[in-house]
Structure formats: structure tokens, C-alpha cells
Amino acid sequence: MVYGIIGLINFAHGDVVMIGAMVATTLVVTFVGGNPGAVSAWVVVIGALLVAMPVCMALGWTAERFAYRPLRRAPRLAALITAIGISIIIQNVAMMVWGRNYLSFPHIIEPVVYQFSGARISVLQIIIIVAAAAIMGALMLIVHRTRLGTAMRATSQNREVAGLMGVNINTVISAAFVIGSLLAAVAGVMVAAYYGVAQYTMGFILGLKAFTAAVLGGIGNLPGAMLGGLLLGVIESLGAGYIGDLTNGFFGSHYQDVFSFIVLILVLVFRPSGLLGERVGDRA
């Protein structure tokens, strides 16, 4: 969404996800303590989410206002390096606040597992899938069915003309960062709840995988990014499951991250426009 509007690859986005995960984990641990059954799981998670969202939204708005906006007319390399710098700053601030150690997310949701034709899926996984689908549907509605979404698409096509037509460009771009940061907070809570841990460096690999998914589906294309994320997850899961058999045990499932970057290289070499291949005009 951000790239489609201003042509910026926000490498700090993964670290916003990390902040959401760290804030939510801290709050859940504070609420639950050593007794996971003391408070309703839904109350705890929703409460942590309601705190993590404004924190991440404020972080995204601040980064756009004070780091990216002054470089809007600068060469793309300057904005890219700034995004990497923002990522490093967020990581180091998180390290100073929460330390280097992993934070454990309490298992407050009952680990009920269902089986379908040999496949296993847990209640938590079902919740994450349904929530992600609902959020992505809401995002598409915002982009394609609201005045803000119309302004975003107009700004994406031509910022100068959109401004002449009465669109407040600064507000639209800030809104894109705020919405993206809100979704990052939700993603951070999902990741922390699913894996059970959060740590200040976790955003780096998440950001790279998000970029890979966007490139795979078609960078600047929202449905393409969603499709790319699903395909990347399937590729990683299948790779982690079969890499040991294919290499006679030489490589284990912990090499699954390698497949993300293999996919990234192949897409950039053979189909740089991605699967859905939306063309994004070059911005002067």
C-alpha cells in the first residue's frame, strides 16, 4: 500500500510488527502473570491489541512525518537508506526497553487440535486465518469503497494532479502509514501468540518475508501481496517438510527461511513484475 502510493519500500515495517508483538506480550504477561486461567483469554488478547495498535500507529505516523516526508522529492536511494536506518533505530530502542532476551507469550488459548484427512489445525490457527481474511477484506473495502481509498488511488496515479483536484496528499500518505502500522500491530499479536515468543530482532526477517511476498505477488498490488504471502507460506511449509528427505537429512526444517530468498531471487530474475504483474509508473 505504501509503495503503491509513494514508491517507498518501508523496510522498517517489520520492526513495527515487532513493537506490536513486544507491547502485546508485555501486557499479556502483566495481566495473566503465572496464572493463565485467571482472566479470559479473549479479554487479555483484545486488551493487549487495543494498546498495541495506537502505539504502532503513532510509530508509523512519526516515521512518515519526520523521516520520510522530508525526503519525498529526494532520490529513491536516500529514502531506502533512511528506511533501513529507522529499522535499526527501532530495534535498538526495543533492545533498550525490553532487553536482549526473548519474551514468552503465555499460552492462554486452549491448544485444541482438529484433524481433517490427516491434516492438523489448531483453534489458534483457525482464529488467525479467519481474522487475517476479515482484515484483508476490510482493507480492500477501504481502498476501493471509501473516499480515503479513492484519494489513495488518485495519489498513487499522480500526486500532483491529485493535489490539484483537492486531495490532501500529506493526509493521504500519513493515513497509509497509519493503516499499515495498525495492521502491523495485529500481525505482531498474531505472531507472538502463535510462536509464543517475541524478541527485538524478530522484525527483520518478518520485513524481508513481507517484501518477498509483495514482490512475488506484484509489488504495489494489494491482492498480489496477499496472494504472494499465501504462496510463500505454502512454499516454506512444503520446503521445511521435505527438505530433510530430499537431502537425506543433511538439511533440516530450520532452513525454511532459505526458500523465501530463493523465491525472491527467482521472481526478480524471471518475472520482476510479480504474478499479478501490476505496472507501477516511474516517479520522477
Amino acid found at 90: I
pTM value?
0.89
Each residue of 144-198: pLDDT tens digit? Answer: 999 999 999 999 889 899 999 999 999 999 999 999 999 999 999 999 999 999 9
User: What does the block give as the cell for 177?
Assistant: 502509514
Each residue of 186-203: pLDDT tens digit? Answer: 999 999 999 999 999 999
| 21-30, 100-109, 181-190: least confidently modelled range | 100-109
Concatenated DSSP letters of 195-237 = HSEE-TTHHHHHHHHHHHHHHHH-TT-HHHHHHHHHHHHHHHH
| 175-179, 195-199, 225-229, 234-238: least confidently modelled range | 234-238
Cβ count near 154 (within 10 Å): 19
DSSP conformation class of 255: G
Determine contact, residues 199/103, Cβ cutoff 8 Å.
yes
Alpha carbon 100 to its chain's center: 22
Q: Say which residue, 180 or 31, is predicted with more confidence.
A: 180
